[in-house]
Structure 1
């Protein structure tokens, strides 16, 4: 089962504490406990059993535990298969963004061939991701471990080291401790391509020092801190396109030569945009939409969305428009071309516009297209992503899509963020059910981590304690952030995205405190203690675990108390108490 719309299904999992929903015979037969997913992870010399019900259990690794030995290197075929599986839907290269880039491309390949690391710096929308993809293809045979593509979006240097480890080694349930991690990645020889890098300075130095046999190709925007002065990293700037290449983008998009009026309009846009390819992809979409409006509607569009889901011409122009007048659609003004997102969005399907509203609410993160039918309430909503991509409103970020540069600001100014709280709540309810479903692999939840964390960040501060007399609906709404944090943190732990695990635990702890949910507070404190123990922070582990034990004693939670007592005993043993 691939759960996108809520349903029921049983699996062989660890027993939980809650009975099944809608039990029609509860008054006749005692309900069986709900089923939950447990996962075993080897972290250093600890064996961690992630249990989303009573809290994770931690113990020394028994001899002969699977996954505790030296991990196996993946073959080139396995790496290629994993890389292909991680690509977001529709992630084919856009040739129009690669015009006039051949010289830069060859320069980057030559530097990497000599074993040099390079930082490619360019503003958002300069076509950096597409260029990195092409250079990666050119470098396939340069290093023993091939090319490793990583995303730096919301990732620290330690996160990237662990991503590199799991890309090269086959260790699905292994979270090596820092010393072991550095020993293993030190042996990796690869060309590592990192797009959307978010750090520089000492953090970048630590990343490169830990991987002496790797050559890095780093993509970053100019506002990211530069590498340390003593770090041997070549700096390459990615400029905008010249006027001829920018015009060619528009002609390829339209499939014809530009008229004189269109050429003059595009020339003004080129001067204003400094030749950023993304702006001309969006401008091409504006001209394409203009042609569609002039031609009139009447057939199914290229994405399979029927005509009745598109707004009429009156909705686009704001005034009644006769059929013959629609054929005289003027070119967008320079202001509309400079900030095209609202105009582009107004001419898309209702599902695409709803997807944009969700993305604005989720801090620019676009939910995976498999979630869109459930979120939007339209069975054809998964086609919305193709519409948004064709218009240049979204851009690829690793295995996901985000709103393209400045699109979120433009849409918020047009009112797309007015219902952000409601959209975030809808997304949180869906993700809370989906992330906790036993049939959903933890890796899939980790891939959606940015959207889940964005929903939590918006909802958690608004949580309040339920007052006496409030109904079930109010309780469900107020506890949504707590339920999502509980479901997601277990998946993040099992999926080895421990940065997201820690962030979710902290948000969940605060949300549970605001909601007055003692049981959930105990769970989150216990998990924070276990995480601190895995990271060698014994004092912090003791503090969190003792806080959890105090709350569970008040609740008379025997099973949770036993798990906490065992973890505290392990802390005392490690501390020599």
Structure 2
């Protein structure tokens, strides 16, 4: 059984069921024994023209100052960072860790850095402050590639690493005043020539030597373009002189020479950009069998990168390549292969992490496409890998997304699994109210589905929630006053304070059960209703602790009960506040009715103003089909008091005129809130006048009046019926006059009529020809 330790908890992974938590005794050492790993020295050959930037990074690291290198994709940022890490280890004798940071939460990033530097006597999740202290004491230099986010996110990462040296590479400057920012230029002519000669693998001819100078200038010394150009010349597909004249076409020309198998491999590498996989897994995903030769040629052509025995693409090169070879990839097939691989693998093995990272990329891609079936399946096998690796913030985000997907496809078993894992994570992070709500729901659904093993594990974890609350309520031993050798007994004021705390605790636990009872009916299908009954309200403490829900041997519904004989009184519950939406009236700017029009997107914020947490059920849109939800960060998410989430709504009309819609969001207790959506679609009506003569084009209502070429925007459906009249200019000379010669474009006709009737539903261009006719 695989386990991970956190503080005084041990979480045992149970396949298909979720984590089972065990509270360890006070004798247990909560901090594992750690040993520094010897630094790994990476090869330092193959870096051309960048030594001074390596020196700058080493000097900044020696002074524990942040430094970043920025530049466009293909400029060699990742290669530079790998050499920086090697130089830091060699010259400063300090451990340097080079990681693809991406959008990792700072807490997960800290855990990853510690795992690279230390060997632990057991698998453990360490608190962020402990990780930061360990990294600082070891003098670790954090080398972070492709760090995503804005300046504020970079600030969060640096704040999580106080006193540590950090080297960053990204597409644009983000450090500002926090450190030194260096723009990475293209290679100089000497270094660029060396790269070309090395990749060409033969001497240059006299004509080629002259042509590469033009090529280097044309591509601004960009290393990736130089490598791809050298590969095209090496396989006799193009010459350096021809490529120097077409620098912007080098990438597409290089793709043109790829075989079907090579395109397929590149397509999957682009889909999983940022993840480097072994050749056998690439073979399984593509179904191509032996891919060694194709991978080698793709690497020589500069289309794919190799890190040790793994192959892949940097994140920044994924989107462009995928757009070029999208017909060669099937995300569903990749999800099936990766899902099967992770199902059969040990989730705690070193080999599982990169495959889980590939699954994470597919999950993000599938969620954008609303492919919830494979997204839900992948999350169920990816989440345990990340949980055992201590990447709990990534788990939290995955579980929220999984809950949304499980609700969308009506998968009650998956909902129960995700609720269990969310509740267990909340238990570990001392969010007891959320833990109680989620684990109670997991028990409820699993009991209704007849999943006895799953319900037992969820119930066990729920017992730890109740025990945590009871322990928090127990008074500790009274401390003696300095002048008194013996502790004094608590007086009435102490006793009253303890009672008030205990009452608050019991009220909180009852609140969890109440929330579960009134809010959970939207969480799953009505056929899975288990009939949870609430305990009677009481204004006095029970004589025994609040019991954990249990199931009788008769299989009766889950029925929590309280013990004690105190009389009950009816209390008026505090009225729940509604969710709030901002803005309540969302106005979109006018949108072009065209398949190539830019997407217009607005963000809507939803805030939970209640004191208790709310489990969100997501959003939906009624009214015009011009509106759609582009991103829903609310569905399946737990909103704590005064916390908010966002939904991105896009406006893409297919017809002109005003479009009205309504965005409605709800939580699992049935509370809803809505925002009104309004926007107008338009088409463009263009008139062009050509020929040697002069004339005007106008409509009868003067909506169109063009003495020359003009353009009008049509937003009113009442104006989509347009009659145009072409009128030659009455001006004449002694030798000529103006004559209407006919229509082209939308009014094209063999008849030379001066009028044209149009019904406008999309962009229209009408061309009127006027000629000067000799008398």
Higher relative contact order (CA 8 A, sep 6+): 1
Q: Is the 8 A contact 1:46 1:60 kept in 2?
A: yes
Deviations 1:91-119 (A, max 9, x none): x6662xx3222333333333333443322
Q: Structure 1, residues 414-439: CA drift from partner, whole Å, max 9, x if none?
A: 4x11354xx11111111111111145
C-alpha distance in 2 between matches for 1:367 and 1:128? 21
2:108–2:390: 8 Å Cα contact kept in structure 1? no
Q: Per-residue deviation at 1:511?
A: 2.6
Q: CA deviation at 1:440?
A: 6.1
After superposition, the C-alpha distances for 1:315-370 in whole angstroms (9 at most, x for unaligned) are xxxxxxxxxxxxx9896555864243443234334432211122334457564322
Q: 1:552: Cα distance to partner?
A: 1.6
Alignment partner of 1:181 out of 131, 136, 140: 131
1:59-99 C-alpha deviation (Å, 9 max, x unpaired): 2124666x8444322242xx43xx87xxxxxxx6662xx32
Distance, in Å, in 2 between the alignment partners of 1:335 and 1:550 is: 69
Q: Is the 8 A contact 1:119 1:220 kept in 2?
A: yes
The one of 192, 199, 213 aligned to 1:253? 199
Q: Distance in 2 between matches of 1:241 and 1:497?
A: 38
1:156 aligns with 2:130: no
Q: Is the 8 A contact 2:105 2:394 kept in 1?
A: no
Aligned partner of 1:273 in structure 2 is: 219
Aligned equivalent of 2:228? 282
Residue 471 of structure 2 corresponds to residue 564 of structure 1: no
Residues 294-328 of structure 1, C-alpha deviations (whole Å, 9 max, x = no match):
xxxxxxxxxxxxxxxxxxxxxxxxxxxxxxxxxx9
Structure 1 residues 155 and 260: CA distance shift in structure 2, 3 A: farther
User: 1:109-143, CA deviations, whole angstroms, 9 ceiling, x for partnerless residues?
Assistant: 33333443322223222222222333333322555
Equivalent residue, structure 1, for 2:140: 190
How far apart, CA to CA, are the structure 1 residues paired with 2:318 and 2:153? Answer: 29
Q: Which has the higher strand share?
A: 2
Is the 1:442–1:494 Cα contact (8 Å) retained in structure 2?
no
Alignment CA distance shift 1:154-1:379 (3 Å): same
Q: Deviations over 1:531-553 (max 9, x none)?
A: 12222333332332233223123
SS in 2 for 1:348: coil
Q: Measure, in 2, the Cα distance between the counterparts of 1:184 and 1:342.
A: 47
CA distance in 1, matches of 2:3, 2:318: 40
**Which of 339, 346, 350 pairs up with 1:443?**
350
Q: Which runs of 5+ in 2 are unaligned?
A: 473-504, 506-775
Counterpart mapping for 1:11-22 below 5 A: none
Counterpart check, 1:417 vs 2:326: yes
Q: 2:12 aligns with which of 49, 52, 55?
A: 49
Report the CA distance between 1:406 and its aligned residue.
Answer: 6.5
**Equivalences for 1:50-129 in 2 at 5 Å?**
50-62=13-25, 68-76=30-38, 79-80=39-40, 95=46, 98-129=47-78
**What is the SS of the residue equivalent to 2:67?**
strand
Q: Which residue of 2 aligns with 1:431?
A: 338
Aligned to 2:82: 133
Checking the alignment, whether the CA contact within 8 Å between 2:195 and 2:226 is kept in structure 1 is yes
1:215 aligns with 2:165: yes
Residues 299 and 305, structure 2, Cα contact 8 Å, conserved in 1: yes
Aligned-partner Cα distance in 1 for 2:235–2:448: 63
Where 1:174 maps in the other structure, the secondary structure is coil
Give the 3 Å change call, closer, same or farther, for CA 199–460 of structure 1 in structure 2.
closer
Instruction: Report deviation, 1:399.
Output: 9.6
Cα 1:430–1:335 change in 2 (3 A) is: farther
Cα-Cα RMSD: 3.3
Write out per-residue CA displacement over residues 391-420 of structure 1, whole angstroms, 9 at most, x where no aligned residue. Answer: 211346899654357754544454x11354
Shift of the 210–376 alpha-carbon distance from structure 1 to 2, 3 Å rule, reads: closer
TM-score by length of 1: 0.72
Q: Deviations over 1:439-468 (max 9, x none)?
A: 56443222233321222233356678xxxx
| SS of residue paired to 2:5 | strand
Verify the 8 A CA contact 2:114 2:135 in the aligned structure 1.
yes
Match of 1:19 in 2: none
Alpha-carbon offset, residue 167 of structure 1: 2.0
Query: Match of 2:263?
Result: 353
**How high is the TM-score relative to the length of structure 2?**
0.55
Shift in CA distance, 63/447, structure 1 to aligned 2, threshold 3 Å: farther
- Give the aligned partner of residue 455 of structure 1: 362
- Given that 1:42 and 1:61 are in contact with CA atoms closer than 8 Å, whether structure 2 keeps it comes out as no
Tell me which residue corresponds to 1:225.
174
Going from structure 1 to structure 2, the CA distance change for 1:215 and 1:396 (only over 3 Å counts) comes to farther
What secondary structure is seen at the aligned counterpart in 1 of 2:58? helix
CA contact (8 A) 1:549 1:561 kept: yes
Cα distance in 2, alignment partners of residues 73 and 364 from structure 1: 29
Provide the C-alpha distance between the structure 2 equivalents of 1:363 and 1:185, rounded to a whole number of angstroms. 29
What SS does the corresponding residue of 2:174 show, helix, strand or coil? coil
**Secondary structure of the corresponding residue to residue 247 of structure 1:** helix
Aligned counterparts of 1:399 and 1:256: Cα–Cα separation in 2: 27
Once residues 330 and 143 of structure 1 are traced to their aligned partners in structure 2, the CA distance between those partners, rounded to angstroms, is 42
Aligned residues: 470
Q: Name the CA distance, whole Å, in 2 between partners of 1:522 and 1:152.
A: 31
CA distance in 2 between counterparts of 1:221 and 1:192 reads 18
Structure 1: how far apart are the matches of 2:63 and 2:234? 44
Q: Match of 2:426?
A: 532
Residues 373-384 of structure 1: pairs in structure 2 closer than 5 A: 373-384=283-294
Give yes or no for contact 2:443–2:458 (8 Å, CA) kept in 1.
Answer: yes
Describe the shift of the 1:495–1:461 C-alpha distance in structure 2 as closer, same or farther (beyond 3 A). same
Higher helix fraction (1 or 2): 1
Rounded to whole Å, the distance in 2 between the matches of 1:177 and 1:331 is 58
Counterpart check, 1:486 vs 2:377: no
